[in-house]
């Protein structure tokens, strides 16, 4: 009986979300659209697999989620399937006929920021001389310049796909050109950070570009289901070995061959494959939060998720008791490793703050940042698209990410306006595009 009710609510929620997603206008994507897209990718798909299998496990953390037994967590996940479509319906997008006042310099600005921060962080990690990528990153934090560069790079690798999508919607770039440019940027990021999150952004941008081409969309979706699990399973092995003998093509080739051999002999579990593509372990961590927070030993965090984004750059000496990084606090509580950051989706942090009042707290939180992006540049479609991609990324980061993303986006908007006021004009076709506009 319980299973029947869970499936009824799940399938009804899937239908509602699909109905809202099919009506997306990619030329007018905004923050709330991004929340729905990220929710579909990071929550709905893995939850459907969990319901079929009856459980999901993360052996390394000693955690498991059984949706028909852990009904509190299941209720949170099912509730969100109705919450976000309701918010989207209640808070409309900008009118279709509203003028677009996007600054054309935002596109090259974001791409330049991505390239500069990616190459700078790569140089500071010293990966060009070899070593293990994670050890090198940990060592780079000794340099005080590395942290802000890393923050900016994390935002830029997300925003760059938003500006490529924007270029297609304005007719300035073809779909094929955007896909090729996105693939090139994703490869650059993969081999400078060895982080595969950029591949997810590329996939989601591709699916959005093919939204009105159902057959190509279907082929892309089916192809992704076959290729991504294999790639994501082999990638952790590859990146652990890739630079051990130096940053060379030969070292990469040896690492890939070793990863391929391991992949042939050990296909891995369904949980491992699902987690490598959809980061489904985040839902299992959410289950731990629902089961353990709210006690005397682990009280709710009240409004910490509201304070964290705006105190991100505040030195600890000025506010010693400022909210700590939520992911790191989970790593210490669950795995007893203070340097380990665990993600728990947007639900995890909202439940940790407000308990069973999480729908109210989370609604206020997302509407606040939806309003911030509207405030930054209400009639700039490229800025609203950047907000949409930032909202997608919020499903796998803690609350501090959105504060950093909004700050950097707002800073770029203000800087470009000041340049315009001072009559400093860019050269090249972007300048002429601005003059024609």
pLDDT at 351: 95
Residue 66 domain flag = no
pLDDT at 105: 92
Determine the structural domain holding residue 263 and report its residue range.
103-269
Residue 344 domain flag = no
Residue 242 domain flag = yes
Residue 304 domain flag = no
pLDDT at 402: 93
Residue 228 domain flag = yes
Residue 381 domain flag = no
pLDDT at 371: 94
Residue 180 domain flag = yes
What is the number of structural domains in the chain? 1
Residues 232-270: b if buried by 16+ CB within 10 A, e if exposed: bbbbebbbbbbbeeebeeebbeebbebbeeebeeeeeee
Residue whose pair of structure tokens reads 């990071």 in the numeric block? 42
Going residue by residue through the chain, which has 437 residues, state the pLDDT in tens, using 9 for 90 and above.
889 999 999 999 999 999 999 888 899 999 999 999 999 999 999 999 899 988 888 888 889 999 999 999 999 999 999 999 999 999 988 887 788 889 889 999 999 999 999 999 988 888 888 777 777 887 887 888 888 899 899 999 999 999 999 999 999 999 899 999 999 999 999 888 888 889 889 989 988 988 776 666 666 666 666 666 667 677 777 777 888 778 888 888 888 888 777 765 555 556 666 666 778 889 999 999 999 988 777 888 888 899 888 877 676 666 777 778 888 888 888 988 877 888 999 999 999 999 999 999 999 999 999 999 999 988 899 999 999 999 999 999 888 899 999 999 999 999 988 887 765 554 545 444 444 54
Residue 5 domain flag = no
């Amino acid at each position: 009986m319980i299973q029947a009710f869970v499936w009824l609510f799940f399938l009804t929620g899937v239908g509602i979300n699909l109905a809202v997603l099919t009506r997306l206008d990619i030329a007018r994507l905004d923050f709330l659209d991004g929340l729905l897209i990220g929710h579909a990718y990071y929550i709905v798909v893995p939850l459907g697999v969990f319901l079929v299998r009856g459980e999901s496990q993360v052996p390394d953390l000693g955690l498991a989620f059984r949706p028909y037994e852990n009904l509190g967590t299941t209720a949170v996940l099912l509730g969100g399937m109705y919450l976000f479509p309701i918010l989207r319906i209640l808070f409309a997008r900008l009118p279709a006929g509203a003028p677009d006042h996007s600054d054309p310099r935002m596109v090259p600005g974001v791409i330049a920021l991505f390239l500069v921060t990616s190459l700078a962080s790569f140089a500071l990690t010293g990966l060009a001389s070899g070593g293990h990528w994670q050890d090198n990153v940990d060592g780079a934090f000794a340099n005080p310049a590395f942290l802000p560069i890393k923050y900016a790079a994390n935002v830029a690798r997300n925003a760059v796909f938003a500006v490529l999508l924007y270029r297609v919607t304005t007719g300035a770039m073809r779909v094929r050109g955007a896909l090729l440019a996105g693939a090139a940027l994703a490869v650059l990021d993969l081999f400078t950070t060895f982080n595969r999150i950029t591949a997810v952004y590329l996939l989601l941008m591709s699916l959005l570009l093919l939204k009105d081409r159902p057959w190509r969309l279907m082929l892309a979706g089916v192809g992704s289901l076959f290729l991504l699990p294999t790639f994501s399973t082999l990638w952790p092995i590859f990146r652990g070995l890739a630079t051990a003998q130096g940053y060379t093509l030969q070292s990469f080739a040896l690492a890939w061959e070793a990863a391929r051999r391991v992949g042939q002999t050990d296909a891995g579990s369904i949980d491992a494959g699902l987690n490598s593509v959809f980061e489904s372990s985040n839902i299992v961590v959410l289950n731990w939060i629902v089961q353990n927070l709210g006690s005397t030993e682990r009280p709710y965090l009240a409004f910490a998720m509201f304070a964290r984004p705006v105190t991100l750059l505040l030195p600890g000496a000025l506010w010693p008791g400022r909210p700590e990084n939520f992911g790191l606090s989970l790593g210490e509580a669950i795995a007893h490793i203070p340097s380990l950051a665990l993600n728990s989706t947007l639900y995890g942090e909202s439940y940790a703050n407000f308990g069973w009042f999480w729908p109210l707290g989370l609604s206020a939180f997302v509407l606040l940042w939806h309003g911030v992006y509207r405030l930054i540049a209400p009639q700039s479609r490229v800025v609203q698209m950047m907000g949409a991609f930032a909202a997608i990324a919020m499903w796998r980061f803690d609350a501090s990410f959105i504060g950093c993303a909004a700050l950097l986006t707002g800073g770029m908007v203000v800087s470009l306006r000041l340049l315009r006021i001072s009559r400093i004009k860019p050269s090249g076709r972007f300048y002429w595009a601005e003059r024609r506009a």
